[in-house]
């Protein structure tokens, strides 16, 4: 049954859609090299890097912005 | 600057890999916080974030049509006021088409009437949702599907509409330009806009991997190049007072920005020189 | 309360004041303008505690109205003619988002040629938007219908916007005695609006106006039809309750001398008064004619109509609108939905007077038909 006016009362429910399946290249962070600049966290279009810089591969689309914006090249992209 | 951990735009949205507007909205909502209601014009943002029965929004959100985000936000703001919720941030998002073209009347009315709203235009310089057609915000020389390069054409032959100054001409208390590649500058401006009593307008430059033709990992790099070359300037106009908020130490030649994108790749030296001259003049006017 | 003399626009504004909408975005257009002026004055005088938004177009009027409604408050707007045309896209959005908006439309002709006078082309052109459309005959009905419209629109099983259609100038600018209700009476009939299906509250975030793909779109539209069907019952219930409380009863239709009529004249809006007069005149001459006034055009109460016209031989349908290539809209609907010999007559376009002679002619041409659709009073080229 479609809701009245197609209103959605479950905020953030796109989380059901695991966009990690879109990915071709996977970002791998070398935490030892990380300088905590937070660029990866700030610039991720999916918001799937947390404050400890763990990447949520359920949603990561593999765009590579985090790799590109990492000032110390601590992230590399690996083909899946 | 404080960077709250809570994500108010959920993952799982259908934006392209490397999508600039997703970054824009994440940053804006981090600056605004949960006590926010969003009105959204039709465009990439609405379509990618509201695929029924799912929504990416963690804050109340409404979309009605392409050309009326300003008016919808006006109604929302007044309705919240009558409910004693005047402290809620009412924010509208529209793309450059929804803002500078089809939605400009609705936006102008909302600004002129003095509603307590913040309007953020995410400018990716063409109609990206329908497949890269030219808008009033498409820059000179860009090839789009409706201003294509051809035997008789070098692409778009008009300069970009200056929305920030058009909004400033409304005499509203806060107008700013921003770029997703300068998150601190952008988030500060969003905060100032939200704290402004009355209308505020932010024109946000937002590179688009699909529409501009660059690799998805270069979204931020392109935004930075636009600012570092002076093709896009960062400033604010607060209560009529103009201030540049970021000055590149040494402006790079605009060709570095242009050559990184497929939409400008056809340009000849003559047009690149014209664009450089235009950028130089613009920077001189802005004091960049 | 004693009767007061006023125009239908004034009566509508008085009813709106009593319904206590919280947000009223309006844009002036002839002949609706005085509604927006009266409401502005009520707000300026503190008689109506509402946010009055002086929008820059009708497009923004309905957009702001929809935004406010979705934010969870009672709303009102009014328009006419070209203004309603400019609202067209958002009318569909309002119905699709199931916003219980009440709007008055001062029925006026559509350009070109430019014309400010009455016909019903404007609202007829919006009939597929998903709005309930109620046509009123006089100022009293205008006042009463606005109050009922909120009850209908906000009914949990309806949740569709209601357009109250008033013939431009003929009603909007003509004074009549109107029996106004007291605030306490209205409050007992119409409770404050409590949003259940849509609101914009940071404590309980909802997403409204979402993107629905082929998996859901058909069902969303079908839900609207279910609500439209349900609204027939609700319009009758609300009209009956209004009658019980205040002595003036309303339904989907109103029939006059139809039981034994051979020819039934069918029409909407102020024209019904003229037709009623002609019916009386013809009855005196022994002609078996009756009047069927359609109050609810959408939903279209064809089952009720079938029942009313069951004894008649023929229907003469009077339309102040035209759907090019077929005929009047009401005529076409009756042809499609009712099983009677039916003739259509076009009259009263762009403010041309609907005179008794035209209605008598319609009766004659129904008795002795020449063609299916006739434009009455048409001046032929010499």
Q: What DSSP string describes C335-370?
A: HHHS-SEEEEEE--GGG----HHHHHHHHHHHHS-S
Strands (E), chain A: 25-29, 75-79
Peptide bond between residue C21 and the one before it cis (omega within 30 degrees of 0)? no
* pLDDT tens track for A41-51: 999 999 999 99
Least confident of B11-15, B70-74, B161-165, C377-381: C377-381
> Which of A7, A8, A11 is the best mutation test for C, with the most CBs of C within 10 A?
A7
Q: What is the arithmetic mean of pLDDT over B216-244?
A: 98
Q: What is the arithmetic mean of pLDDT over C78-86?
A: 98
Q: Left, alpha or beta for C322 (phi > 0: left; psi -120 to 50: alpha)?
A: beta
CB contact under 8 A, C60 and B74: yes
Residue pair C12/C76 in contact (Cβ under 8 Å)? The answer is no
Sign of the CA dihedral running C308, C126, C324, C276: positive
Residue pair C292/C265 in contact (Cβ under 8 Å)? The answer is yes
Tokens in use for B156?
Answer: 């778009």
pLDDT at C382: 61
pLDDT at C1: 61
What is the three-class DSSP state of B286?
Answer: helix
Interchain CB contact of A29 with B (< 8 Å): no
* pLDDT tens track for C134-189: 999 999 999 999 999 999 999 999 999 999 999 999 999 999 999 999 999 999 99
Mean per-residue pLDDT of chain B: 97
Half-sphere exposure of B255 (CA within 13 A, CB side): 10
* pLDDT tens track for C227-237: 999 999 999 99
**How many beta carbons lie within 10 A of that of residue A12, not counting itself?**
21
Axis crossing angle, helix C33-44 with helix C8-19, rounded to the nearest 10: 40
C93 beta partners: none
C343 beta partners: C316
State ipTM.
0.97
Under an 8 Å CB criterion, which residues of B touch A?
3, 5, 7, 9-20, 22-23, 26-27, 49-59, 183, 209, 215-221
- Triad C90, B163, B80: Cα angle to 5°: 45
pLDDT at B142: 98
- Triad B181, B187, B191: Cα angle to 5°: 160
Order of strands, sheet of C132-135, starting from the edge strand that comes earlier in the sequence = C76-79, C102-107, C162-167, C132-135, C296-298
User: Residue B141 pLDDT more than 70?
Assistant: yes
Q: Please tell me what DSSP assigns to residue C192.
A: P
Residue pair B18/A66 in contact (Cβ under 8 Å)? The answer is no
Residue pair C90/C59 in contact (Cβ under 8 Å)? The answer is yes
The DSSP annotation for B198-251 comes to S-EEEEEE---HHHHT--GGGHHHHHHHHHHHTSS-EEEEETTEEEEEE--SSP
CB contact under 8 A, A8 and C206: yes
* Contact map slice: A 11-40 vs C, CB within 8 A: 11
Q: Which residues of chain A have pLDDT under 50?
A: none
Task: Note the pTM of the prediction, 2 decimals.
Answer: 0.97
């Amino acid at each position: 049954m479609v809701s009245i006016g197609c209103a959605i009362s479950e905020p953030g429910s796109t989380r059901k859609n695991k966009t990690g399946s879109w990915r071709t290249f996977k970002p791998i962070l070398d935490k030892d090299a990380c300088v905590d600049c937070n660029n990866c966290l700030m610039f991720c279009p999916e918001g799937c890097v947390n404050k400890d810089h763990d990447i949520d591969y359920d949603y990561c689309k593999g765009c590579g912005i985090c790799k590109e914006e990492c000032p110390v090249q601590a992230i590399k992209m690996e083909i899946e | 600057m404080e960077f709250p951990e809570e994500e108010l735009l959920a993952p799982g949205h259908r934006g392209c890999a490397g999508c600039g507007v997703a970054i824009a909205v994440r940053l804006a909502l981090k600056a605004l916080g949960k006590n926010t209601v969003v009105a959204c014009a039709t465009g990439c943002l609405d379509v990618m974030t509201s695929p029924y029965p799912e929504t990416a929004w963690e804050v109340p959100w409404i979309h009605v049509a392409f050309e009326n985000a300003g008016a919808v936000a006006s109604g929302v703001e007044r309705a919240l006021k009558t409910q004693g919720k005047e402290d809620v941030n009412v924010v509208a998002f529209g793309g450059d088409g929804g803002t500078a073209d089809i939605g400009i009347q609705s936006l102008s009315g909302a600004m002129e009437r003095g509603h307590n709203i913040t309007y953020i235009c995410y400018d990716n310089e063409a109609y990206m949702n329908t497949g890269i057609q030219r808008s009033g915000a498409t820059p000179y020389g860009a090839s789009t599907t409706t201003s294509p390069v051809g035997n008789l054409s070098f692409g778009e032959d008009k300069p970009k509409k200056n929305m920030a100054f058009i909004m400033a001409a409304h005499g509203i208390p806060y107008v700013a330009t921003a770029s997703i590649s300068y998150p601190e500058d952008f988030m500060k401006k969003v905060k100032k806009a939200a704290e402004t009593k009355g209308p505020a307008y932010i024109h946000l430059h937002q590179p688009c991997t699909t529409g501009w033709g660059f690799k998805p990992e270069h979204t931020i790099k392109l935004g930075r190049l636009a600012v570092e070359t002076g093709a896009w300037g960062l400033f604010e106009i607060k209560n009529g007072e103009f201030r540049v908020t970021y000055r590149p130490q040494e402006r790079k030649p605009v060709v570095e920005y242009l050559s990184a994108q497929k939409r400008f790749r056809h340009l000849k030296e003559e047009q690149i020189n014209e664009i450089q001259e235009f950028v130089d003049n613009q920077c001189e006017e802005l004091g960049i | 309360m004693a009767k007061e003399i006023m125009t239908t626009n004034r009566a509508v504004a008085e009813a709106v004041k009593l319904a206590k909408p919280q947000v009223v975005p309006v844009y002036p257009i002839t002949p609706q303008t005085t509604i927006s002026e009266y409401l502005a004055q009520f707000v300026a005088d503190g008689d109506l505690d509402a946010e009055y938004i002086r929008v820059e177009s009708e497009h923004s009027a309905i957009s702001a109205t929809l935004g406010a409604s979705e934010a969870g408050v009672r709303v009102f707007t009014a328009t006419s003619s070209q203004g309603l045309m400019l609202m067209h896209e958002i009318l569909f959005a309002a119905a699709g988002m199931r916003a219980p908006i009440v709007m008055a439309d001062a029925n006026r002709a559509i350009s070109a040629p430019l014309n400010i006078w009455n016909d019903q082309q404007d609202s007829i052109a919006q009939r597929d938007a998903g709005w309930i459309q109620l046509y009123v005959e006089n100022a009293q009905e205008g006042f009463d219908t606005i109050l009922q419209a909120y009850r209908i629109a906000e009914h949990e099983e309806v949740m569709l916007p209601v357009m109250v259609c008033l013939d431009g100038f003929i009603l909007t600018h003509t004074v009549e005695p109107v029996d106004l209700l007291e605030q306490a009476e209205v409050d007992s009939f119409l409770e404050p609006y409590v949003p259940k299906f849509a609101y914009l509250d940071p404590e309980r975030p909802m997403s409204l106006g979402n993107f629905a793909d082929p998996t859901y779109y058909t069902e969303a539209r079908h839900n609207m039809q279910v609500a439209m069907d349900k609204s027939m019952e609700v319009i009758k219930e609300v009209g009956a309750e209004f009658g019980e409380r205040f002595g003036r009863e309303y339904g989907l239709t109103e029939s006059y001398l139809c039981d034994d009529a051979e020819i039934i004249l069918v029409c909407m809006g102020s024209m019904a008064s003229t037709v009623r007069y002609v019916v009386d005149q013809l009855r005196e001459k022994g002609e078996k004619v009756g009047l069927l006034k359609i109050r609810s055009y959408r939903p279209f109460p064809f089952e009720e109509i079938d029942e009313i016209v069951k004894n008649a031989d023929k229907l003469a349908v009077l339309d102040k609108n035209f759907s090019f290539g077929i005929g009047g809209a009401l005529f076409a609907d009756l042809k499609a939905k009712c099983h009677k010999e039916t003739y259509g007559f076009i009259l009263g376009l762009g403010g041309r007077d609907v005179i008794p002679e035209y209605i008598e002619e319609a009766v004659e041409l129904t008795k002795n038909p020449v063609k299916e659709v006739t434009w009455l009073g048409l001046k032929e080229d010499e």
